[in-house]
Amino acid sequence: MSKGMSGPMCDQIEVFAVCPADAIERCGAKAFSLSQVDDSGESRPFPIVVVRTFGDDYLGYVNRCPHDSLWLNIGSGEFFSSDRSFLRCARHGARFEIDTGLCIDGPCTGQALEPVALAVIEGDVCLCGIKLLEDDRFSEPFEDGDETMDITIHPD
Ligand code: FES
């Protein structure tokens, strides 16, 4: 869903709604499988995770561990350490600061998750600074319990 408007963190640039803000519980996270079209016109996967913090901030990261370049939530689908103080890669246990994405423990210590610019606008979590074309088939991704959705993104 294109918002095509400015917002508090996305001044004068086009933004696109990813999901309703209340679709993610506080101290929760949700994965989205997006597709981005690169400069050569090739479509490539752009998986992201949106995290809602205890303080009610929304943070986005590319869902790709710096260690093996694979998604974090293998198996259980869980993104957090057992005490929910850190994001955690389920493959080899790397732990990441929630606020910064910096790995503080594990095989990629000192590396960081790639941030994705987000803003909450009119009750929706929105991607900022990208042009996105949606496939309407995935416009209601939460109706069937599927926690992922597919969106095509074109660079500016
Ligand atoms: S792939 Fe994430 S810790 Fe190894």
**Per residue in 142-155, pLDDT tens?**
333 344 444 544 44
Q: Is the CB of 154 under 6 A from ligand 1?
A: no
pTM recorded for the entire structure: 0.78
pLDDT of residue 132: 55
| Cβ atoms of 97 and 105 closer than 8 Å | no
Tell me, what's the pLDDT at 130?
65
Higher pLDDT, 4 or 16: 16
75 or 126, greater pLDDT: 126
Contact criterion met (CB below 8 Å) for 98 and 86: yes
pLDDT digits (tens, 9 = 90+) for 93-116: 999 999 999 999 999 999 999 999
- Please give the pLDDT value at position 61: 96
* Ligand 1 in reach of 66 Cβ (< 6 A): no
> What spacing in Å lies between the alpha carbon of 116 and ligand 1's midpoint?
20
Ligand 1 atom nearest to 94, measured from its CA: 3
Residue 147 sits at the vertex; the CA angle it makes with 142 and 152, to the nearest 5 degrees, is 90
Indicate whether residue 91 lines ligand 1 (CB < 6 A): yes
- Measure 89 CA to ligand 1 centroid, in angstroms: 6
Q: What is the pLDDT of residue 1?
A: 53
Task: Name the 3-class secondary structure at 138.
Answer: helix
Read off the pLDDT of residues 30-88 as tens digits, 9 standing for 90 and up. 999 888 777 777 777 889 999 999 999 999 999 999 999 999 998 777 899 999 999 99
- Identify the pLDDT of residue 141: 39
pLDDT digits (tens, 9 = 90+) for 46-56: 899 999 999 99
Domain ranges of the chain: 1-64+114-134, 74-111
